[in-house]
Amino acid sequence: MKKKIFIPVAAVCILFTGTAFQNDFFEIAKQIEIFTTMFKEVNMNYVDETNPGDLMNTAIKNMLNELDPYTVFMNEQDIEEARINNTGDYTGIGATVKTLKDKLVVIEPFKGYPADKAGLKAGDEIVKVGEVVVADFKDNAGDLLRGAAGSTVNITYLRQGQTFKASIVRQDMEAKAVPLYRMVNDKTGYIALSKFTNTASYEVSNALRLLKTDGAEQLILDLRGNPGGLLKEAILIVNLFVPKNELVVTTKSKVEKYNQTYYTQREPVDTQIPIVVLVDGGSASASEIVSGSLQDLDRAVIIGSRSFGKGLVQRPKQLTFGTQLKVTISRYYTPSGRCIQALDYWNRDGEGKAVRVKRESYNEFKTRNGRSVYDGGGVEPDIEISGSKQSSIVKAIVADDYVFDYATKYYYDNAKPNLTSFQMTDADFVNFKSYLQSRNFAFETKTEKALDKVLQTAGEEGLDTAITSGYQSLLNQLNAYKDQAIDNNKGQLLNLLENEIIKRHFYREGLHEYYLANNEEVVKASEILSSPAKYKSYLRP
């Protein structure tokens, strides 16, 4: 009887599964054929000459834009950049460079590397590489700076309105995952981790062991501004502090083979040392795996502001002609079961932007000790430092490079500051506000955008004259609000300026040393670690 029932049921399941697969396959084949014939007809019959490569590149990018920003098509140059990002090894001039339409801006020269030795400074604008004018170069001009180790690249750059030339000998480089580890006091060690490259866990392990040798009985792990990297390195770093066979992260996908559960595989270095992990809005992906799992396991206290909220996992897929597709294959979940993805790319607003998960939609989970933690928007710190969370107006000022550009000006107008005691003054803030005005800084709020639409609609209906005075009054109030908003964020803006100026003089290593003496989060972490009772209280429900 069981066989008589089971066999027909199994046959029906196979039939429906097969039918569903066939329907999917047919639909994919159908759409590919439609696109292929359309693409052919456009290229053969369009009134002007077309570039098939450009058209296809645009088509691919627009198709992927409907998904999420991490699912991307990668050409050979993109693949090389991804390799550098994961390994930290490449050949070049030894500087972070930002590519603009007509120039390459040096963002940060690395101490002791070719760009630094050649005298390049942050803010220098490279306008010519060899005989190539950057403004005339159609591809990624940053690639012009790369080349074989030992080869020379000649550049022309602008600094403070003057033109300079430099010859730079390229060399093999290895970007450190740990730019600084140091004792904060006689008992507290500090490790800054900037990226999860394939040497990250080794560097953190080495730093931890050396700090313990120096007397460290407690630890601050700084993951602020760390965008992530290799998943395996995140698991290995968690493993330094928790026992073998401990659950760290789970990935879930519609494809069965991508459903994975990751446990620690090695013996830890120290399962008892008290840890404070620092995070902010720039801590993403692998940083959130480390901070989220240590929080769920009640193994660390998290301080700062809510992390970025990237709970999506990507995997590269080889395509033809040396290209790749980096595609989102799954979501990851911390030990408590929460996914901390902040943006919902499958539900978008009227402007086509991904919707942020609302707090009332967060789901509650429990840590090992029974503390409440939540999904839906990054790792929420156990202790939130208000000054570490950037407001919308501060984000706009930073995004438009006003902090960076003012720091460049300050660097050339002022003497070298003291590394540990440097602080900007009220007069400096007034000067910065004047600088913003001179650069015509304009921050458009969502309210202004909505008012513009109202005025446009009113014009179409012939009502614009009737509401003009009220509209202008609202704009004046908004402008007054924005002026006040800059003042309200004075402390955060001054901190950003101080950090950028310190980095100009003392490099990234010096910036982390400056943090040890002046940063609010580091000071708070040291305070909590100095009191075992207070530290333990944050790990209890």
CA-to-CA distance for 178 and 74, rounded, in angstroms? Answer: 28
Q: What is the DSSP letter of 471?
A: H
* Helix or strand (DSSP H, E) at 20: helix 2-45
Structure tokens at 195: 């990226």
Give 349's Cβ-side CA count (13 Å radius): 7
Q: What is the DSSP letter of 474?
A: H
Q: Please, which residues have CB within 8 angstroms of residue 79's CB and are 6 or more apart in sequence? A: 316, 322, 323, 324
**Contact predicate 344/354, CB 8 Å:** yes
**Contact predicate 382/528, CB 8 Å:** no
DSSP string, 246-299: -EEEEEE-SSGGG-EEEE--S--S-SSS-EEEEE-TT--THHHHHHHHHHHTT-
Cα–Cα distances in Å, from 275 out to 47, 243, 248, 294? 66, 15, 17, 9
Q: Which of 133, 130, 129, 111 is nearest to 120 (CA)?
A: 111
CA-to-CA distance for 238 and 271, rounded, in angstroms? Answer: 10
Report helix angle 490-518 to 402-413, nearest 10.
Answer: 60
Enzyme catalytic residues:
285, 296, 310
